[in-house]
Amino acid sequence: MTATMATILNGNKVAAQIRSEVAEQVRALTAAGRRPGLAVILAGEDHASEIYVRSKIKACQEVGIHSEKITTPASLTTQELLAMVERLNQRDDIDGILVQLPLPPQVDSQQVLLAVDPEKDVDGFHPVNVGKLATQRPTLAPCTPAGVMEILLRNHIAIAGRHAVVVGRSQVVGRPMALLLLNHDATVTICHSKTIGLAEITRQADILIVAVGCAGLVTENWVKPGATVIDVGINRVTDRTKFEDLFAGDAAREKTFAEKGSVVAGDVHPRVAEVAGALTPVPGGVGPLTIAMLMENTVKACRMRRGRR
């Protein structure tokens, strides 16, 4: 084989490093009488949300953070949830508040998220924290893009002066990702569903970050040879034709597809590994970093809140 395959950027390894560092910080804070605390609100009975919340609580237990899971009936009102958030805002032993989305349809999600004290907004979604990120002030950054930065930095991938292209403009990933890259002196282009000539732009990227939720969207001819490609997408592929396009010849995934009728795929086609210099896998790339950075943000919130008093 003449082509050099991309270096695989192992998100599990980076996440384990961060969790180890967080656990050490938690031990020190706890010894000083200030154990960090995280409250997670789970409204209703969304199965995926229950799995996510369970993994967050488990991560807290592993690093020593005090955690509380608050469950509510699916019938709750916006006002009831706002009152719950306000009680958590007032509690000094809770440093982070996470409202698990999606909320039941009758609840005003925006109003609830705005009610979270910005100092306790470990998701980094509050406009106050977004503004601080944009103006390079100390803040709590959204967990997934913050995790992407850790992958880049801990793998010693040059950012300053490089052209970074972000595909996706969501408030959760795309926009904060662009700000974080700018804050590290990258030249940043943001692309989205209305971008004209998308492949021409992505081919210019030294660092390409894709977060659109479309399995295999970015193919090898979209990527500059040697580029670093970060795949944030997590998609469930159930169609056999699509599966064959992405994973033909992959015995392990074929077995999973045969047993479960689906496999997980990223936004980046596996053949990109033949062109890129470095690539995150799906699964095992960006995913593990999201919860690791939630732990990091909870400890950071604890330190920042203590530092002001």
Q: What is the pLDDT along the chain (309 residues), one digit of tens a residue?
A: 345 899 999 999 999 999 999 999 999 999 999 999 999 999 988 888 999 999 999 999 999 999 999 999 999 999 999 999 999 999 999 999 999 999 999 999 999 999 999 999 999 999 999 999 999 999 999 999 999 999 999 999 999 999 999 999 999 999 999 999 999 999 999 999 999 999 999 999 999 999 999 999 999 999 999 999 999 999 999 999 999 999 999 999 999 999 999 999 999 999 999 999 999 999 999 999 999 999 999 999 999 998 754
Burial class (CB in 10 A: 0-12, 13-18, 19+), 109: middle
- Per the structure, the count of domains in the chain is 2
Amino acid at 69: K
Amino acid at 277: G
CATH number, position 47: 3.40.50.10860
The boundaries of the domain holding residue 276 are 143-287
Q: Evaluate whether residue 283 is within a structural domain.
A: yes
Does residue 100 carry a catalytic annotation?
Answer: yes
pLDDT tens per residue across span 122-162 = 999 999 999 999 999 999 999 999 999 999 999 999 999 99
* Active-site residue, selected from the candidate residues 95, 117, 121, 123: 123
Choose among 61, 41, 43: nearest CA to 295.
61
If asked whether residues 59 and 154 sit together in one domain, one would say: no
What residues form DSSP beta bridges with 268?
Answer: 218
Residues contacting 278, CB < 8 A, separation 6+? 6, 7, 8, 9, 155, 157, 228, 229
The DSSP bridge pattern shows strands 187-191 and 163-167 to be: parallel
Domain of residue 247, CATH code: 3.40.50.720
Collapsing DSSP to helix, strand or coil, 65 comes out as: coil
Convert the pLDDT of each residue in 70-109 to its tens digit. 999 999 999 999 999 999 999 999 999 999 999 999 999 9
Contact 283, 227 (CB under 8 A): no
Please tell me which residue in 25, 100, 120, 300 is annotated as part of the active site: 100
Residue 66, in any domain of the structure: yes
Do the domain assignments include residue 129? no
Q: In this structure, are 280 and 148 located in the same domain?
A: yes
Q: Please give the Cα distance from 59 to 74 (Å, whole number).
A: 25
Domain assignment of residue 186, yes or no: yes
Distance CA 302, CA 187 (A): 33
199: tokens are 């492949």
β-strands 187-191, 235-237: how paired?
unpaired
> Do 57 and 186 lie in a common domain?
no
Pair 148, 283 in one domain: yes
Q: Does a structural domain hold residue 238?
A: yes
Same domain assignment for residues 85 and 156: no
Q: 56, 120, 224, 300: which is the annotated catalytic residue?
A: 56
Q: Does residue 11 form part of some domain?
A: no
| Separation CA 309–CA 304 (nearest Å) | 9
Please report which residue ranges of the chain form alpha helices under DSSP H: 11-31, 47-63, 78-90, 109-115, 127-134, 143-154, 174-183, 198-202, 240-247, 251-260, 287-307
41 occurs within a structural domain? yes
Asked about 69 being catalytic, the answer comes back as: no
Q: Is 97 left (phi over 0), alpha (psi -120 to 50) or beta?
A: beta
Q: Which residue has the tokens 């052209």?
A: 163
DSSP codes joined into one string, 156-167: T---TT-EEEEE
